[in-house]
Structure 1
Amino acid sequence: MSIDLFDVKGKVALVTGSTHGLGMAMARGLGLAGATIVVNGNSSQEKIDVAVAAYKKEGINAVGCKFNVTKEDEVIAAIANIEKEIGAIDILINNAGIIKRIPLVEMEVADFKEVIDVDLVSPFIVSKHVVKNMINRKQGKIINICSMMSELGRNSVGAYAAAKGGLKMLTQNMATEWAKHNIQVNGIGPGYFATSQTEPIRVDGHPFNDFIVNRTPAAKWGNPDDLAGAAIFLSSKASDFVNGHVVYVDGGILATIGKPLNEN
């Protein structure tokens, strides 16, 4: 067995939505493993610059690339520039996403469509244009960031669940069409993680904190760094015959119906 199974040194990885949060954690893992990270965001160039500086502080080779993943013309231009200035994209992680917590009966059609556009249509757009060169080179790794909502519903996140459920099936169809070109397409489904966004509800006694801790067999929130291993595995030779799967990094939530709050 090759000792280089998990080697991603010298690979170019485009990670959308990688200026913060879970996207940054996965990109950081790949960067520390030796990949060059193309940091994408759309909110502001300043935010991208701050993120790139944070990567570089840890010795990661990172460059920023601002574009809107839902705008095909911007995607095409950005990919052409990346391939010209940095090199062919070996790894694509479709991580950019949004969520709107609105009950379906109250949700405006425009809001529903926006979530679908960012969370489902954009992975199609970006993958479609990245994969063309992967097909020419007969190699590539695409990772779509799915969700536990790819499998389960939950109150007030209907649009998000519809998009992530669709993304799971899009992942399988991408794998079906592109595996013959030695391109592996898989997904990662994060569970509940300790991030700055969840900090206000991650306190003992908060109903949602207690729900997550008791609902998760690991009995804790995930650390964003826990996603790095899955990202490296699906980006490396170790996954060369893995196609069309979603790896759920969730502490076991999807494996169980849960336990009563008073059960030890």
Structure 2
Amino acid sequence: MKVFSLQGKKAVITGGGSGIGLGIAKTFIAAGAQVLIVGRNEEKLIDAQRELGANCSYKAFDVTDLDKVPNFVTETETSWGQVDILINCAGTHLKKNAVETSDSEFLQVLNVHLLSVFALTREFSKVMIPRQQGVIIMISSMTAVMGMKQVVAYSTAKTAVVGLMRSMVSELAIDNVRINTIAPGWIESPMLHKAIGNDLPRKTKILSRIPSSKFGQPEDIGNAALYLASDAGKYVNGVFLPIDGGAAGGF
């Protein structure tokens, strides 16, 4: 089981203060990693750091502040240490019909889920390439697999992330920097509750399409990320991995 160990590794997890990002942080720390959780809400990060313990640090940073991403990467490597793993998990949600979604709203979602992911992946790749090692994990969505109402911006960004991964894999694999993408299904998280908490028909429809009739847990994504980040997944590169309880196959 040593191939699943992250002992001695350092992982940056954007959106690590809650939900799926927090679930990944818990799993990585249990596997021996030191984790830096990143997000905009410092209060939330402090609470998460207390929960995660001594092997967790935090940094308040808005990933959509693209001009500051290069400095963020440099400062992180200088003050916190060499980053072995990047998890792009920061997220936001917009529930709105396509014809009612403005250009600025669409762009705001893309900034969080796509443009920041590219900027962070690009800048961390620059320091991973000379070391000839590194792991980057994107977080996509099942909306990249199936059409869903009222998530046009989110779906577009999460689909584009897959193309981003494939293109960068073709460039970075030669330098032993691996990039994979996890597509969570419906996972218990603040974002899920925001999306369906007041929409019982939507919740009922979703559960009816999951063979097990239950939502996943953040740790389910954490375990998948652990496999991809550890030596257990050292020959896995450019994979799009749904973790959805069979929802895509249950239609």
Q: Same fold, TM exceeding 0.5?
A: yes
Is 1:72 aligned to 2:66, yes or no? yes
Query: In 2, are the aligned partners of 1:99 and 1:160 still within 8 Å (CA)?
Result: yes
- Give the SS at the match of 1:5: helix
Q: 1:123 to 1:197 in 2, by over 3 A?
A: closer
Q: How does 1:155-194 map to 2 (within 5 A)?
A: 155-194=149-188
How far 1:163 sits from its partner (Å)?
0.5
Task: Please list the CA deviations of residues 7-42 of structure 1 after superposition, one character each: whole Å capped at 9, or x if unmatched.
Answer: 111111000011111111011111111111101011
The residue correspondences of 1:72-221 to structure 2 (distance < 5 A) are 72-198=66-192, 206-221=200-215
Change (3 A) 1:198 1:112: closer
Contact kept in structure 1, 2:18 and 2:44, CA below 8 Å: no
Deviates more, 1:121-130 or 1:95-104: 95-104
Superposed displacement of residue 212, structure 1: 2.2
| Match status 1:55 vs 2:52 | yes
Match of 2:31 in 1: 33
Report whether the alignment pairs 1:4 with 2:5: no
Q: How many angstroms does 1:199 deviate by? A: 5.1
Shift of 1:217: 1.5
Alignment match, 1:261: none
Which position in structure 2 is the counterpart of 1:15? 13
User: Equivalents in 2 of 1:4, 1:33: separation in Å?
Assistant: 10
Q: Which runs of 4+ in 1 moved over 3 A?
A: 196-203
> Deviations along 1:34-57, whole A, 9 cap, x unmatched?
1111010113x222222211111x
| 1:63 match: secondary structure | strand
List alignment gaps of at least 5 residues for structure 2.
Answer: none
Give the number of equivalent residue pairs. 250
CA contact (8 A) 2:212 2:245 kept: yes
TM-score by length of 1: 0.89
CA offset digits 1:166-201 (Å, max 9, x no partner): 001111111111011011100111101223454585
Worse-superposed segment, 46-55 or 34-43: 46-55
- The alpha-carbon deviation at position 241 of structure 1 amounts to 1.3
TM-score (norm 2): 0.94
How far is 1:75 from its partner?
1.8
Question: Which structure would you say has the larger Rg?
Answer: 1
What's 2:22 paired with? 24
Query: Residues 10 and 33 of structure 2 are in contact (CA less than 8 Å); yes or no, is this contact kept in structure 1?
Result: yes
Q: RMSD in angstroms over aligned alpha carbons?
A: 1.8
Identity across matched positions, percent:
34
